[in-house]
Structure 1
Amino acid sequence: MSPAAFQRRWKRRTPSAARCGAVAVEFAAIAPLLLAIIVGLIELSRVYSVQNCLETAAREGARFAALDRSGMMLGGKTANQKLVDDVKNYLASNNINPDKVNVKVTAADNPDQDFNLDDPANDLELFQVRVDVPYSDVSYSPVSDANDYSLNAALTFRNGRAVVND
């Protein structure tokens, strides 16, 4: 094979400059879509993580209310105050601003009525721990006021005071 024939054959197999430009245009057209999908997945995983933290915090707070609370309150705090503080501390340890979190202890059958864990009349009664935080305060991306909503978790538990034996 002569060198000229080899060169002609080689030129047919190499991509042309026009084809290289087409790849760049295709990438430019697809890149925003891929970036949007990646950012959406990151944001979705954040929402899932925060929702899981809210549910766990509500569960841990309600679990406290079922324990024998004697000797657990410091400085004259009520059981409700300790429950709220414990929930907020748990969420703060998971990088959720406790100042933006709303925690309520309500009657299970009436969410508008506050529930006093220390009231003997409420022993063995059902109560609900409700935890919520605005989405804009946990989102990685900015959220307009019109599109903001609340992530929340609620757990119903019995004010049982189970005694812990040593």
Structure 2
Amino acid sequence: MVRFRQKQVANRRGTATVEFAVVAPLFLTMVIGLIQGSKLFDSHSVMAQAARDGARLGAMDRADWVAQGIQSNNKITQDVRNTLAAAGFDPEDVDVFIEFPDDPGNTFDLDDPANDFQLFELRIEAPLSPLTSTHNDNENQLKLVSKVVFRNSKSTIVQ
């Protein structure tokens, strides 16, 4: 009986090494995927907050905080880019669009009185490659997008 047990132990030598060799790459792939996924989730939540803040500014009465001669669209676009730059995005790579929600590509002018009480969409697009370890050519660049729709109501802040 002692021989039988010794034979079983001898047959199991090296199994832990083989199991580790099989499981380690899978585990490492999962860990790297979780890290990349959490970076993307964090980046998207920062972009969503920047979009909400920019659209909220667009929906408010801008007479007190936008200097004379500066268009509201430009001010909000710059504010959104500054917010994203503070979060680690390259502001030159970030595209900010203020458009009609039902007519993409048609710019919504926040200062135009004809657009008062109309819905507008603020959309932010940032390339995905700086946020992950993937590299894409410029023609097929994947983008992380966040957008929000607000009403150009020129409401005031009540304190």
2: distance between equivalents of 1:47 and 1:163?
34
Distance 1:163 1:89 in 2: 23
Which one of the candidate residues 11, 28, 32 is aligned to 1:39? 32
Between Structure 1 and Structure 2, the one with more helix by share is 1
What residue number does 1:25 align with?
18
Q: How many equivalent residue pairs?
A: 156
Question: TM-score by structure 2 length?
Answer: 0.85
Q: Which runs of 5+ in 1 are unaligned?
A: 1-7
Summarize deviations over 1:62-105 as a string: whole Å, max 9, x none.
00011111121247321101111111111112212111110010
- Could you list the structure 1 runs, at least 4 aligned residues long, displaced by more than 4 angstroms after superposition: none
* Distance in 2, Cα, partners of 1:31 & 1:128: 46
Distance 1:89 1:118 in 2: 21
Q: What is the rounded CA distance, in whole Å, between the counterparts of 1:155 and 1:31 in structure 2? A: 42
| Equivalent position amino acid for 2:117 in 1 | L
Q: CA deviation at 1:109?
A: 2.0
Which region of structure 1 is more displaced relative to structure 2, 109-118 or 67-76?
67-76
**Within the alignment, does 1:84 sit opposite 2:77 as a pair?**
yes
Could you tell me which amino acid in structure 2 is paired with residue 125 of structure 1? Q
Match for residue 65 of structure 1? 58
Q: Which runs of 5+ in 2 are unaligned?
A: none
Mapping of 1:11-160 within 5 angstroms?
19-74=12-67, 76-139=69-132, 141-145=133-137, 148-160=141-153
State which structure, 1 or 2, has the greater radius of gyration over its C-alpha atoms.
Answer: 1
How many percent of aligned residue pairs carry the same amino acid?
Answer: 37
Root-mean-square deviation over aligned CA pairs: 2.4
